[in-house]
A and B are shown apart, each in its own frame.
Chain A
Amino acid sequence: MEKHEGQGSTRREMLKVTGAAAVAGSLAPALAGAAPGARTAFFTAEEFTLADELAELIIPADDHSPGARAAQVAAFIDQLLHESVDAGVRSRWREGLRSIDALSRQLHGVAFMQSSPEQRVAVLERVSQNEASPERPEEHFFRELKSRTAFAYYTSKVGIHEEMQYKGNVAIPEFVGYDAELLDRPK
């Protein structure tokens, strides 16, 4: 049941993206997920759409909170890659995104963004199967993609406040000591 609902919500998100991507295509370089009028600094429009979709698949919107797309994870990654002085990391991302598309064509005969939601999940399942000890380039890329996505998401407003409902970083009016009774109660 839960799984079914999850898929439903993913599919609804998918429709939104497809719509946004279509608009993006006609109004390039305005981009799906980015703030209106924003330009990417490193990703091409196609790369951005793909990275945005991959991030959302890793951390999707669910009935608890919005996902990576709403948290503008891809825009943050784009900025970091743009600023990086490490040309290696930029080319790894470019090649990594290409390898996702290549795997999609190999498995399903179409580019990732042209495939169905189920097919997209299948590609991610394939690249994440050796997550603990990745070997193939696309498996390494999955780890990079996931760790950057998680960092960007869980440091975002959405991640901290809506998803994690973090209670701290506020001045507590009365600082209370630990509960001595709880600790010292007889065993």
Chain B
Amino acid sequence: MAEVDLKTVYDAIVVGSGAAGGMAAHVLTSHGMKVLLLEAGKKLNLDQELQSMRWPYEHPRRGLMRPNRYALSASDYQNETRPYGQGNRFSRYTAVHSYVQGWSGTDYSKNIVVNEKENPYTGTPYAWVRARCVGGKSNIWGRLALRMSDFDFKAASRDGYGEDWPISYADVEPYYDKVDLYLGIAGVKENLPYLPDSIFQRPTKLNLGEVKLRESLARTGRVLTPYRAGVTTDGLKHNKYRSRCFGRGACGRRVGGCDIHAAFDSPTGLIAPAMDTGNLTLRPNSVVCEVLTDRSSGKSSGVAFIDAESGRRYEAKAKVVVLAASTLESARLMLLSRSRLYPNGIGNSSGHVGHNFCEHIMGPGVTGLVKERVGKPPTLDDGRPNGFYVARFRNLSERHPNFLRGYGFEGSSGLKMFPDTNQPGFGAKYKKAVRDHAGALISMGGFGEVLARYENYVDLDPKVKDKWGIPALRFHYQFGDNEKKMAEDMVVTAREIFEEAGIEVISTRDKYLPEGWSIHELGTSRMGADPKTSVVNQFQQSHDVKNLFVVDGSTHVSAACQNPTWTIMALAWRSCDYLAEQLQKGNL
């Protein structure tokens, strides 16, 4: 266990070491602040865990987990009782994991994601994917790095639904730039007002099917752009812990993870450089269970945490507490922090903590056949996190009759290590069909905005507790009519897009995936100008407790349809600059 001086009053305690917590650690230590970073999970040797270039046949089960581990399926999430993984059916398994472990290659991420048995939650069905280890989900994220625009920050003004953010694109733009330059992002400039460009390094390459689709879409003013990846393709001179991308094939292995760290992850992108400042102390295995309050000032005095291995409770003190434990864990922690001063949980005088919970609906999509590629010699189409992104096109200038807001498509074409084996029959004909079609498939699926609604929320379960005796979260969350209509449009439109491009549709996925599947949960401590209807201000500072900040996705006012990681990090950077300045001025 890391030796940590718990008598010290740190300048700041950061709870959680993923993209948000890593960014907070980086920014605060760069301002010379002494920071204690607490992570609930272990410190793993990630290069050893991931083994990105290991061939399937070099693994005893070709990448599959041992059979005493189980991964929940989409139907499990709908049909099994909550908490998941606790019934008789699961007693034979030593560990039950979220659905991401059901993909091939999963033996490489089994220590990164949590065991559901130890980390229960209750309420409505929800696929909650959690990674407890230093770096959290950033170790295995999908790497699509997108900016939001005023179409998103000011969406309420445009269509009358919900609340505007208390900030605009101009406020965040300089911080998106900083994130781009510090961490590296690959992509192509498209000059779209609704999907602003980043400061891009070299893009990955589109293959034939993808170019065909891009050109066809361009005829209707829609944009398919190479996957905007949070990957450094040119390298980063200022970071010795990360290599530039070498286009290796294992990038396509799911769950993700990059053992040369060309893809951004918090441990090498943010935490290791922060450690080099001499200002950072990292304590893994520290399950924070309460934000402590100083009764006389009403300010936060630090946090209490339980050592994940010994079960002992400790307290750590700081001038400022920064929550970055993820959208749902940060909300849980605030709700857990009840005191005489804050009977509904710290920072929750508005009653909005846990509410306005939103995310992305995903799944509907289409697979097609690029005829020109059938039977052609193999090409190298792998070595990228994904192929392409189709930018949002709904409700930009015209108003869709059935739903508000928009969605984008993620997809790819070309040869992968494991071909599509769903050809009918058997024998030489089957074998040849698999071979001939392997490089000729193209598929894409939609990611759409789930509207933030007060009535979608989480609270604490009155009975169920996790392995460390901490009350579990209880979900009250469902997709609404707007999302379901949007999902219908995704399928119909995806089909049209393929047909217009001369791509034969061979299958469609009509049904959206269960709630939570996108792993983009947002909104449970939203920002706003009004302390009665929001939890934090535009600098992610609690309206109630001025030395408490929440810098993860929980502060997002609306989900938009862009993958949130890049925005989470830009906002965290902005807020931590403000935090450091205010601390220096003696305002916290």
Residues on A facing B (Cβ under 8 Å): 6, 57-60, 62, 64, 67, 76, 79-80, 83-86, 121, 124, 128, 131-132, 146-147, 150-152, 154-157, 160, 163-172, 175-179, 182-183, 187
Q: Which residues of A contact B219 (CB under 8 A)?
A: 187
Contact of A178 among B226, B245, B421, B434 (CB under 8 A): B226
| Chain A, Cβ-Cβ closest to B418 | A154
Tell me, in angstroms, the Cα distance from A157 to B62 when the chains sit together: 11
A132: shortest Cβ distance to chain B, in Å?
A: 7
Segment from B51-59, B76-84, B322-330, B479-487 that makes contact with A: B51-59
Among A121, A131, A178: residue with most chain B CB under 10 A: A178
Q: Which residues of A contact B92 (CB under 8 A)?
A: 85-86
Q: Which residues of A contact B246 (CB under 8 A)?
A: 171-172, 175
Interface string of B273-311 (1 = CB under 8 A from A): 000000000000000000000000000000000000000
A177 near B417 (CB under 8 angstroms)?
no
Q: Which residues of A contact B103 (CB under 8 A)?
A: none
| Chain B, Cβ-Cβ closest to A171 | B246
Decide: A164 near B380, CB < 8 A? Known: A58-B427, A131-B424, A154-B419.
no
Tell me, in angstroms, the Cα distance from A169 to B431 when the chains sit together: 23
A166 near B415 (CB under 8 angstroms)?
yes
Segment from B200-208, B346-354, B451-459 that makes contact with A: B200-208
B428 near A155 (CB under 8 angstroms)?
no
Within 8 Å of chain A (Cβ to Cβ): is B2? no
Q: Which residues of B contact A171 (CB under 8 A)?
A: 246-248
A166 near B249 (CB under 8 angstroms)?
yes
**Can you list 15 pairs linking A and B with CB atoms under 8 Å apart?**
A59-B430, A62-B428, A151-B421, A155-B63, A156-B57, A165-B378, A166-B249, A167-B249, A167-B415, A168-B249, A177-B233, A178-B188, A178-B226, A183-B211, A187-B219
Tell me, in angstroms, the Cα distance from A175 to B380 when the chains sit together: 12
A interface majority secondary structure: loop
| Chain B, Cβ-Cβ closest to A71 | B57
Tell me, in angstroms, the Cα distance from A30 to B203 when the chains sit together: 53
Q: With contacts A60-B431, A128-B425, A167-B382 known, what are 18 further pairs, Cβ within 8 A?
A: A59-B426, A59-B430, A62-B428, A67-B431, A76-B62, A83-B67, A86-B92, A146-B426, A155-B56, A157-B57, A164-B415, A166-B415, A168-B252, A169-B55, A169-B382, A183-B211, A183-B215, A187-B218
| Chain A, Cβ-Cβ closest to B69 | A85
Contact of B67 among A57, A58, A62, A86 (CB under 8 A): A86
B426 near A57 (CB under 8 angstroms)?
yes
A104: shortest Cβ distance to chain B, in Å?
A: 16
Closest 7 CB pairs of A and B: A168-B249, A169-B249, A168-B382, A155-B56, A178-B205, A150-B421, A167-B380
Q: Which residues of B contact A168 (CB under 8 A)?
A: 248-249, 252, 380-383, 415, 417
Interface string of B211-230 (1 = CB under 8 A from A): 10011001100000010000
Residues on B facing A (Cβ under 8 Å): 53, 55-57, 60-64, 66-68, 92-93, 188, 202-206, 211, 214-215, 218-219, 226, 233, 244-250, 252, 377-383, 415, 417-419, 421, 424-428, 430-432, 434-435, 438
Q: Which residues of A contact B247 (CB under 8 A)?
A: 171-172, 175
B427 near A121 (CB under 8 angstroms)?
yes
B interface majority secondary structure: loop
| Chain B, Cβ-Cβ closest to A63 | B428
Q: Which residues of B contact A172 (CB under 8 A)?
A: 246-248, 380, 383
A57 near B205 (CB under 8 angstroms)?
no
Tell me, in angstroms, the Cα distance from A176 to B428 when the chains sit together: 37
Decide: A187 near B417, CB < 8 A? Known: A60-B431, A169-B249, A172-B248.
no
B89: shortest Cβ distance to chain A, in Å?
A: 11
| Chain B, Cβ-Cβ closest to A142 | B426
Among B60, B204, B205: residue with most chain A CB under 10 A: B205
| Chain B, Cβ-Cβ closest to A7 | B428
B56 near A6 (CB under 8 angstroms)?
no
B245 near A175 (CB under 8 angstroms)?
yes
B537: shortest Cβ distance to chain A, in Å?
A: 41
Among A64, A182, A183, A187: residue with most chain B CB under 10 A: A183
Contact of B57 among A121, A155, A165 (CB under 8 A): A155
A140: shortest Cβ distance to chain B, in Å?
A: 15
A163 near B435 (CB under 8 angstroms)?
yes
Tell me, in angstroms, the Cα distance from A150 to B381 when the chains sit together: 21
| Chain B, Cβ-Cβ closest to A80 | B61
Q: Which residues of B contact A163 (CB under 8 A)?
A: 431, 435
Q: Which residues of B contact A156 (CB under 8 A)?
A: 56-57
Q: Which residues of A contact B55 (CB under 8 A)?
A: 157, 160, 169
Q: Which residues of B contact A128 (CB under 8 A)?
A: 424-426
Tell me, in angstroms, the Cα distance from A101 to B306 when the chains sit together: 59
A64: shortest Cβ distance to chain B, in Å?
A: 7
B67 near A166 (CB under 8 angstroms)?
no
B215 near A187 (CB under 8 angstroms)?
yes
A176 near B205 (CB under 8 angstroms)?
yes
A175 near B214 (CB under 8 angstroms)?
no
Tell me, in angstroms, the Cα distance from A166 to B68 when the chains sit together: 31
Tell me, in angstroms, the Cα distance from A157 to B427 when the chains sit together: 19
Tell me, in angstroms, the Cα distance from A24 to B58 when the chains sit together: 28
